[in-house]
Structure 1
Amino acid sequence: MTAQIFKTMLAFFEQDEWTIRQIGDQPILQMSFEGNHGKWQCFAHAKEEKEQFLFYSIFLSKVPAEKRQALAEFITRANYGLMMGNFEMDYDDGEIRFKTSIDVENITLTPKIVKQYVYTNVLMMDCYLPGILSVIADEVSPKEAIARIEKR
């Protein structure tokens, strides 16, 4: 099997002039992104055998154990209205990430499609990041944090 998904995602990041680093010999690229509300790590993963492209934005701090229930509510409320992508939290270690993915089994992945999934991802992370931070800081309830974000 050729590494077509990896080649396509690599082509996008090079054309769009991202600073990227491949993780060993794996079909995974790592990069940073800085939005209006913070900076975080991103990973692009080509799953050739499953014919999938995945892109993750990962919040740099782990959610403290005592805040995970509130963040789980925040994430559930955020995910409810999202059309593309979703937030995830590892309840064991507190990692929060936003994932966009596409199954490319019957389509040809292009740099334009990669761009759509990458920029949707980082824009959603940037949009919801103030809410994540405010819930962690106990400034507002998860419900109020989502209401503030989604009324914009």
Structure 2
Amino acid sequence: MTNSFSILHVAEYLKRLGLKISQVDRSQNTIELTFRGEQGQWHMIAGIHHSGNASKLMLIVPQIGIISEQKRLECLEALLAVNYRIAMGKFGLDLTDGEVRLEESIPLADQKITFEQFRLAFSALVQTVAIYHDLLHRITDGDQSPQEALQACENEFFAQAPDESDFGLTASMAQVTETPLQTTTSQDQEEPPELDVNEVLEEVARLLGRHTE
């Protein structure tokens, strides 16, 4: 079966959302997005993985945080609680270096995913990062229990959530660039464009409002 759904289709979906893309790598079937907001700067990687006739879309947010020996069990307890709460995505831990990342793997039925399905999955991960970006810090440095840290993250987010009456991302934000297949040095690359996560969250609020109607 021909793998008709490619990373360029994902790029087009992101473009329709009005989002800037830092990098498209056709050789690796990946796209990198860079966000900057109250959460600081963070990245998301979208990729298409083909294996025989099966394909899946991978959405990965690396380096959410680092879990060291300090309050390790409390941090793991909090992440497990979040995994139980959220409908899409899961937090995972790299045991070699303690890196925490957020991931979602979506099997592609008939080798494709619709724009609406992609938009809901993408928005869900953005919202999860926005809510829980400070979770581990609250436990390790703020001396909060896992339950207290979870409650504080959720209360703070929903108290500051964008007004659902203020919709959308502007089309003027859309920009897609394709990198050449050969390796380029960091000096040769321009500073990647960044996304304002608050603007993305306005779109998340709109989607959640539509989804519950």
TM-score (norm 1): 0.84
Cα distance in 1 between the residues matched to 2:32 and 2:69 = 27
Contact 2:131–2:154 (CA under 8 A) maintained in structure 1: no
Q: Which residue of 2 aligns with 1:8?
A: 9
Q: Which residue of 1 aligns with 2:77?
A: 73
Q: Which residue of 1 aligns with 2:118?
A: 114
Contact 2:132–2:154 (CA under 8 A) maintained in structure 1: no
Cα-Cα RMSD: 2.3
Q: Which residue of 1 aligns with 2:91?
A: 87
Cα distance in 1 between the residues matched to 2:111 and 2:24 = 25
For structure 2, which runs of at least 5 residues remain unmatched after alignment? 159-213
CA offsets 1:30-49 (integer angstroms, 9 cap, x no match) = 12122433321111011133
Cα distance in 2 between the residues matched to 1:2 and 1:136 = 45
Structure 1 SS opposite 2:66: coil
Do the aligned partners of residues 61 and 80 (structure 1) sit closer, same or farther apart at CA in structure 2, a change above 3 Å counting?
closer
Q: Which residue of 1 aligns with 2:129?
A: 125
Q: Which residue of 1 aligns with 2:164?
A: none
Q: Which residue of 2 aligns with 1:99?
A: 103
CA offsets 1:130-151 (integer angstroms, 9 cap, x no match) = 2222123242122211132345
Report the AA paired with residue 66 of structure 2: K
Shift of 1:106: 4.0
Kindly report which structure 2 residues correspond to 1:24-63, keeping only aligned pairs within 5 A, or say none.
Answer: 25-49=27-51, 50-59=54-63, 61-63=65-67
Contact 2:55–2:108 (CA under 8 A) maintained in structure 1: yes
TM-score (norm 2): 0.62
For structure 1, which runs of at least 5 residues remain unmatched after alignment? none
Structure 1 SS opposite 2:109: coil
Report the AA paired with residue 146 of structure 1: L
Higher RCO (Cα < 8 Å, 6 or more apart): 2
Do the aligned partners of residues 142 and 75 (structure 1) sit closer, same or farther apart at CA in structure 2, a change above 3 Å counting?
same
Cα distance in 2 between the residues matched to 1:142 and 1:105 = 38
Structure 1 SS opposite 2:122: helix
CA offsets 1:90-135 (integer angstroms, 9 cap, x no match) = 1321111112231112474123322221121011011011222212
Report the AA paired with residue 26 of structure 1: Q
Do the aligned partners of residues 77 and 26 (structure 1) sit closer, same or farther apart at CA in structure 2, a change above 3 Å counting?
same
Contact 2:7–2:31 (CA under 8 A) maintained in structure 1: no
Do the aligned partners of residues 132 and 66 (structure 1) sit closer, same or farther apart at CA in structure 2, a change above 3 Å counting?
closer
